[in-house]
Amino acid sequence: MRFHGKKRRKKVAKREDYISWDEYFMGVAMLSAKRSKDPNTQVGACIVSQDHKILSMGYNGFPIGCSDDDFSWDREGDDNKYYYSTHSELNAILNYRGGSLEGAVIYVTLFPCNECAKAIIQSGIKEIVYAEDKYHETMSVITSKLMLRSAGVLMRQYEPSGREVLITL
C-alpha cells in the first residue's frame, strides 16, 4: 500500500479484545453503584447519547444535605430508607447539566421503578438497557413496564459477556 507516494510499512494491527459499547456503559453503571451506601441494594445508572457519549451518571442515595450517617437505611418501620433515598436513574437524570436528554439511552443495573419510569419518559430517554430485574413481580415494576411500553421506550436486558476487567484502585 502507498502513503504520500512512499511504500507504506505494514500497519500494526489494532487490539481485538477491547470492550464493547454495552460492556463499557454497563460497566460504568456498575462502578457508579459502588458509590451507594445502601446496605441492601446498590444501583448505578449511566446515560448515553445516541453517538455514544456519556452524558450523566447516578447511584441510589440520600439527597444533598441529608447525611448518610443520620438518616435511616432501615427497610421497615416508620423511619425507613424509602422515604429518603433517590433512585440511581432519577439521580442520573437530575445530575445532567446539559440541555435535553431526548433520544438518550439509560444503562441501569436494576430495572427502573414506576417513579423513575415517569422521569425517564418525561426526560425524552428512548431506551433502557438493564442488568437485573429482581423486582419484576412487584406492582412498581409491572406498572413501570406498562408506562414505558405505552410511551414507546425500548427496553432490553443486558447480555453479560462474562468478561472480567481487573481494575486496581
3-state secondary structure 72-101: CCCCCCCCCHHHHCECHHHHHHHHCCCCCC
Q: Is 23 a catalytic residue?
A: no
Q: Select 55 or 111, whichever has its Cβ closest to ligand LCLUPRNS.
A: 111
Residue of the chain from 25, 29, 32, 38 that contacts ligand LCLUPRNS (CB under 6 A): 38
Q: Could you say whether residue 81 binds Zn ion (CB under 5 A)?
A: no
What's the min distance (Å) between Cβ of 118 and Zn ion? 9
Record the cell numbers describing residue 65, joined without a space. Answer: 444535605
Q: Could you say whether residue 145 binds ligand LCLUPRNS (CB under 6 A)?
A: no
Residue of the chain from 88, 104, 123, 148 that contacts ligand LCLUPRNS (CB under 6 A): 88
Pair type for strands 105-110 and 127-132: parallel
- Cα atoms found within 13 Å of the Cα of residue 99, Cβ hemisphere only: 4
Record the cell numbers describing residue 142, joined without a space. Answer: 409491572
Count of all residues that appear for the chain in the document: 169
What's the min distance (Å) between Cβ of 75 and ligand LCLUPRNS? 5
Which residues are known catalytic residues? 89
